[in-house]
Every structure is written in structure tokens, then in C-alpha cells.
Amino acid sequence: MTTALSATAAPAARTPRGPRGLVWAVLRVHRTALVFGGLALAVATACLIWMYAIADDARRGNVPCAEPAHDGFPSCASVEAITVDNTYADGIDLLTAALSYVIFPVAAWAGGALIARDLESGTARLAWTQSVTPARWLAAKLAVPAVLLTAATGTVALLGVWARQDDDPNLVGDWYYPDVFISTGPTAVAYPLAGLALGALTGLLLRRALPATGAGFAAALVLYNVLERTRENLWPTVTRTEAGGFELPRSAWQMSWDGPTRATRAMYHPQSHFWPLQYVETGILLAVAAAATLTAFAVLRRRTP
Amino acid sequence: MTAVTTIETSTAATPARGPRGLLWAMLRLHRWALWFWVLLVAVGAGALLWAYGPGADAAWSEYRTLHCDTNDPGLGCDALGPAYNMYDTAVGIGAGLLGLAPFLTAAWAGAALIGRELEGGTAQLAWTQSVTPARWLAAKLAVPAALLTTGMLVLTLLHRTLWSADGQLRAAMGSRSWYQGTAFEANGIVGISYALLGLAVGVLAGLLQRRALPALGLAVVGLALITTVLGTLRPYLWPLETLTNKHEYPPYIGMVVDEGALTSTGARVGDPICVDDTKCLADHDIVGFYRDYHPSSHFWPLQLVETGIVLAVAALTVVIAFRLLKRRTGAAV
């Protein structure tokens, strides 16, 4: 109720100033989400800077060793005594997972609090009488969170890549782990944007806060799992066939393996497929986001005069 | 808005009949949640039954085709095959739903069950229809609790059936142990008690916030905090057993909680990683090694203690909720 009041008070206090007033209203109504999002961003930034600071020590704690020390290998006791590598690996793991799951709260919030609550309580209709057309209302509702989300997830993704340094898979996980893959490329930004658009669409379709929250979350869950299952098919795999046995390097994302009865045949994605896979997946996500946004505008236009 | 009219017509059509009318109103008002819960249990049960039958058979035949059970296993045995992955996914869906249910319950209880009614004023309306606030809250707790317990019990029993049948497959693939999070919760009564805790936490969050969406957030975050704390404490809820051995570590069995080296005075110290260097061992005065662990026979004691704690927290939460409601409404309870 307080949010509704402040939303209407805003245009009254500040004389109509076009988009600036509308942007301000969106930020003011959703200040709780803004505060929590800002806190999450601050915590993630601080943690990643800390991770970067201990990255060198962590690498010293995660090297081949010998007992007693010889041939240039440090002694295992001295390596084992360094525990900072566990802190580093756990910290990176946690932040990677958190970034790859941002889509879920975003979709639930966009469905419930951003769109459907306004439609359910009638504050949207009130806004439409205040010289704000429905289309501009929806555009502001989508654009402001989209810009903030892009900036925040982009920052965290870049800081994450910076804190991972040489991407030692023993410390930060292999590039093809679902969490790692999502949060080390442009997909880190595209997933939350797709969640925002899907959530907004469910909010417009259902027009009630709680069902829209649930439906937005469910839509994000479906998208996330479908892409996780189909990711390996988004780019042609490399096939390697040899008469004898062979071993793939650790960086190869192995799909299938036959043999070694006559010849060994392996299908896999080498690490060089990271960027093609990222671009295709980002393209799919942005297409989903664009389709959901266009549908949302079409639904709104049909509903309102 | 439709919900309001439903309540009004229902009380008008069936003249005050005490709990039965209230029960009926509950089920009618939350029929979507009821159907969703039925659907969720059906999906989980279906996945577990599929894994128990055709899923396990396919995983075994793939295992034999790759000659993984012979002395000369192919390199393909390093990675899991598609049939085993399917089997693992089905089991994961079943066990995952058991783990997800408490959070869905908390979100729903905070938002739809309590928060929305207080926000929209339908709760206050119900309290004028010869339903006291205390009885209103009691019905809100009892009906979902009964349905949750039933559904969770079905999934738990199915998971136990599957677990007792696929021991060999688990051993062959080296996957899933009795003490791992989802398996531990899905094989005993802990999972059911967490669902009830989720309901209690959600109801209290709804009463505290009195608005649907903030209550949803508070309930989920609150439950996540409680489950994290209890999950961390889990290994310490029952006395550990200790194995000691001279010269080398005792075998790795069960849920290992702590390990290290022993000096001649019996003191426990961190392992200096001497391996077989006798001089190094003598320098550090190491005479043996120990492992603290829970054998699988500790499964039920651990389950019972954790269930007791979870149910006690849930009961406390419910008492606080009733106190809060009484203070707010000032009605004779």
C-alpha cells in the first residue's frame, strides 16, 4: 500500500518530466528490490576482490609435491599446510553458482512484484491515467531493471573471470561445468534478461501477483533445464577416431566414447568451442527475451484501448 | 478476488458446521495448490518408479555392454553412459522434489496461505463468520500438514524401495552414499519433518509481514538459514565412532567427520604428511592415525535426533504464530 502511494505521489510532487519521472517512479516503487540487489552486488564484488587477493596463495597450495622435497617439487607437508586453496575454491564455487542462479529470483520478482501486483491492485490503471501510456509504462518497467541487471551481472561476470586468473580446473572447475559455463561468458548477462522478460510476460498474462510469481519461476526453471540438456548440441562436436587407445585432455568435454574393440572413437567439445557455444546460447536467450517482450507488448495492446 | 466470493458463497451454502465447513473452505480456496501438490507427488513417484524398473535395467545392460564389469574395462567406463545418466536424472528428480518441497511449502504458506488473506482482508472477514482467529489458524496449519505428510511419506517410501534395490548399481558406479544430503533426507523421516517446518516458518512469516510477496521472501530466506545451520550440525548430532591404526590410516567407511594423526601420548594432531618416512614420523612423534566417522548403523539415530530438533523448532514456530495472532486480534482463544 505504501508503495502504491509513493508511486502516485511521485508524479504529483515532480511535475511531469517525461521518461525521467517514470524511471524515478519505477526505482521508487521497487526500492526494496533495488536495495537487496545492490547489497547482493556489493557482497559479490567484495568477495571476488578478496578471491583475487588470495588467488596466488591458493595456487601455491595446489601444486604437485613430493615427500621429502626433491627434483624441484616442494614438500607435501608445506603444501598441505596451505589451506587458503580450499577457501579460494569454495568461494569461487559459491559465487559462480550464485551468478548462474540469478535468473530464478529475477523471473519470480518480475512476474509478481514488477508487473502482476500493479495490475492486480489497479495501480497500473492509475498510472495509465497520469499521462503515461500503457506501452510506455511497460517499456519503463522492462528497461530500468534490464539496464541495472545488465550492469550488475556484467560486473560480477567480469570480476569473476578476473578472480579466476589462469582458470586452473583443480581450483575453479572445468569450463564445461554448467555453473562455470553460464557465469564465465555473455550468458551470465543473457540468462537474467531472459528471466526478466519471461517473468514480465507471465505477469501480464496472469495479472495476479502470486500465480505470476510461481509461473515466472517455473518458466525460468524450464528454460534453464532445457538449455542445460541441449547445450552440447549447440555446436558440432569433434570426432576423433584412432586404431589404438588414447586419452583426451582434461579440457575436452567428452560426449561419447566407443571402443576399444577395434578402434577408439570419441566425440567431444575441445575448449576452443567455448566461444561458439557461448554465442549460440546467448543468441537463443536473447531471442527468447525478445520474443517474450514482443508478446508482452502485444498482450498489453490488446487489453488496453 | 474470486477467492473472496468463494468463501462467502461456501459459508452461505453450507450453514455453519464447525470444522467441516472450515476444512471445505480451505480445500476450495487453495484448490490450485492442492492440485499442484498432487501433480508434484505424481511426477516424483513416476520418476522413482521408472528408475526402479526400466531405468535400472537399462543402466545395467549399458554397463555390461561397455565391459565395465570385466578386468579390462574400456576407457568409456571413466565417464557415465547415457542410460545411467537417464537413471540418475530420474532418481535426482524424485529425491530433488523431496528436497524442494519444504521451500515450495514455505513460499506458498507465507504468501498464499496467510499473507494474501491478511493483505486482502479475507482473514478478517472469516473471523466475523463464527470462525475464531485461533481456529482459522489451526485449520490453516492442520489441513496442509496432513496433505504434506501423506505426499512426502509416499515419495520417501518409494525412494527407500529404490535405494534397497539399487545397492549394486550404486557400488558399481561409485555414486550416492547414504549420508549425502538428498539421499539422507529422502531415505528417512527427516525430509517429512522439514516439509512441516517449511509450513510453520511460512505461516509465521505471513503473520509477521501481513503482505503476500514480502512474506514469500522472508519465508524462503528464513527456511534456507535454518536448513543450512541444521545441515552443518548434522554429523555432530550423535556420538562418533573412532577407528585407529598404526603406520597407516584406517579404512575409509561411512560418513567421515574428522581424521588425523596420533602421538605417543594419544593426542590428536594434524597429519604432517610424512607418508612412509620413518624419520619424519619419529620427529613428529606419530604412532598412529585415526578416523572419526558414522557407520551406516547410525542412520536411524541421526535421523531421529535431527527429526526431533526440526519438529521442536516447527512446534516453537507454531506457538509463536498463535501467540502473535492472539496479541493482534485480542480474541479469546
Q: Do A113 and B116 touch (CB under 8 A)?
A: no
Give me the residues paired with residue B262 across strands: B268, B288
CB–CB of B187/B129 below 8 Å? no
Q: Is the complex ipTM higher than 0.85? A: no
Higher pLDDT, B90 or A246: B90
Q: What is the mean pLDDT of chain A?
A: 87
pLDDT bucket at B256, cuts 50 / 70 / 90 = confident
* Nearest-angstrom CA–CA distance, A128 and A139: 13
Find the closest chain A residue to B108 by CA distance.
Answer: A210
How much is the pLDDT for A261?
Answer: 62
How much is the pLDDT for A260?
Answer: 58
Residues B206 and B69 in one domain: yes
User: Does the structure show a pLDDT above 90 at B143?
Assistant: yes
pLDDT bucket at B184, cuts 50 / 70 / 90 = very high
Residues B149 and B280 in one domain: no
- Contact residues for B213 (Cβ-Cβ < 8 A; gap 6+): A112, A113, A117, A209, A210, A213, B111, B115
Residues B95 and B229 in one domain: yes
- Whose grid coordinates read 495472532? B325
Q: Do A210 and B79 touch (CB under 8 A)?
A: no
CB–CB of A38/A149 below 8 Å? no
Residues B177 and B263 in one domain: no
Give me the percent of chain B exceeding a pLDDT of 70: 88
How much is the pLDDT for B108?
Answer: 95
Give me the residues paired with residue B326 across strands: none
| Peptide bond before residue A260 is cis, with ω within 30 degrees of 0 | yes
Q: How many helices (H) and strands (E) does chain B have?
A: 14, 4
User: Does the structure show a pLDDT above 90 at A212?
Assistant: yes
Mean pLDDT, residues B145-155? 96
pLDDT bucket at A7, cuts 50 / 70 / 90 = very low
pLDDT bucket at B264, cuts 50 / 70 / 90 = confident
pLDDT bucket at A259, cuts 50 / 70 / 90 = low
Count of CB pairs separated by less than 8 Å, A with B:
49
Say if B214 is an interface residue toward chain A (CB within 8 Å).
yes
How much is the pLDDT for A6?
Answer: 46
| Minimal Cβ distance to B216: which of A67, A77, A213 | A213
Residues B118 and B37 in one domain: yes
Q: For an interface test with A, which of B37, B213, B271 has the most A Cβ atoms less than 10 Å from its Cβ?
A: B213
What is the CB-side half-sphere exposure of residue B171 using CA atoms within 13 A?
Answer: 6
How much is the pLDDT for B11?
Answer: 45
Q: What is the CA radius of gyration of chain A?
A: 24
Q: What is the DSSP letter of A245?
A: -
pLDDT bucket at A199, cuts 50 / 70 / 90 = very high
How much is the pLDDT for A4?
Answer: 46
- Residues counted in chain A: 305
pLDDT, tens digit (0-9, with 9 covering 90-100), for A128-184: 888 889 999 999 999 999 999 999 999 999 999 999 988 888 889 999 999 999 999
Say if A121 is an interface residue toward chain B (CB within 8 Å).
no
Most confident by average pLDDT, A176-190, B233-247, B318-332: A176-190
User: Does the structure show a pLDDT above 50 at B5?
Assistant: no
Mean pLDDT, residues B154-174? 87
Give me the percent of chain A exceeding a pLDDT of 70: 88
Residues B213 and B289 in one domain: no
- Contact residues for A205 (Cβ-Cβ < 8 A; gap 6+): A212, A215, A299
Record the cell numbers describing residue B260, joined without a space: 588425523
Residues A110-122 as b/e (b if ≥16 CB within 10 A, e otherwise) read: bbbbbbbbbbbbe
User: Does the structure show a pLDDT above 70 at B263?
Assistant: yes
Residues A221-232 as b/e (b if ≥16 CB within 10 A, e otherwise) read: eebbeebeeebb
Higher pLDDT, B280 or B232: B232
| Minimal Cβ distance to A259: which of B74, B111, B214 | B74
Say if A210 is an interface residue toward chain B (CB within 8 Å).
yes
- Quickly list H helices, chain A: 2-13, 19-29, 31-60, 76-80, 84-100, 103-109, 117-121, 123-129, 134-164, 169-172, 178-183, 187-206, 209-230, 274-303
Residue B133: which domain range? 2-237+299-329
Collect contacts of B99-103 with beta carbons under 8 A, ≥24 apart: B99/B181, B99/B182, B99/B185, B99/B186, B99/B191, B101/B40, B101/B148, B101/B151, B101/B152, B101/B191, B101/B194, B101/B195, B101/B198, B102/B194, B102/B195, B102/B197, B102/B198, B102/B223, B102/B227, B103/B198, B103/B220, B103/B223, B103/B224
Residues of A in contact with B32 (CB under 8 A): 211
pLDDT, tens digit (0-9, with 9 covering 90-100), for B212-232: 999 999 999 999 999 999 999
Residues of B in contact with A258 (CB under 8 A): 76
Residues B187 and B288 in one domain: no
How much is the pLDDT for B319?
Answer: 97
What is the CB-side half-sphere exposure of residue A88 using CA atoms within 13 A?
Answer: 27
User: Comparing C-alpha atoms, which of B36, B306, B51, B55 is closest to residue B151?
Assistant: B36
Residues B190 and B259 in one domain: no
Mean pLDDT, residues A193-214? 95
Higher pLDDT, A285 or A122: A285
User: Does the structure show a pLDDT above 80 at A3?
Assistant: no
Residues B78 and B161 in one domain: yes
| Strand arrangement of the beta sheet that strand A238-242 belongs to | A238-242, A264-269, A253-258
Find the closest chain B residue to A116 by CA distance.
Answer: B213
| Minimal Cβ distance to A257: which of B75, B213, B271 | B75
pTM of the model: 0.81
Residues of A in contact with B76 (CB under 8 A): 256-259
**Max intra-chain CA distance, chain B:** 89
- Whose grid coordinates read 586452473? A168
State the first-to-last Cα distance of chain B, in angstroms, to the nearest integer. Answer: 29
* Distance from the A259 Cα atom to the nearest Cα atom in chain B, whole angstroms: 7
pLDDT bucket at B78, cuts 50 / 70 / 90 = low
Neighbours of A253 (CB within 10 A): 22
Q: Choose the weakest-confidence range: A35-39, A73-77, A124-128, B161-165.
A: A73-77
Residues B150 and B283 in one domain: no
Find the closest chain B residue to A209 by CA distance.
Answer: B213
Q: How many folded domains does chain B comprise?
A: 2
Q: Choose the weakest-confidence range: A39-43, A241-245, A295-299, B127-131.
A: A241-245
User: Comparing C-alpha atoms, which of B143, B47, B164, B144 is closest to residue B95?
Assistant: B47
Residues B72 and B199 in one domain: yes
Residues B117 and B30 in one domain: yes
* Nearest-angstrom CA–CA distance, B155 and B46: 10
Region of A230 on the Ramachandran plot (φ > 0 left; ψ -120 to 50 alpha; else beta): alpha
Q: What is the DSSP letter of A75?
A: B
- Whose grid coordinates read 550416492? B176
How much is the pLDDT for B12?
Answer: 47
Give me the residues paired with residue B242 across strands: B292
Mean pLDDT, residues A95-114? 94
User: Does the structure show a pLDDT above 50 at A271?
Assistant: yes
Q: Choose the weakest-confidence range: A11-25, A94-108, B36-50.
A: A11-25
User: Comparing C-alpha atoms, which of B246, B204, B243, B237 is closest to residue B221?
Assistant: B204
Residues of B in contact with A80 (CB under 8 A): 271, 273
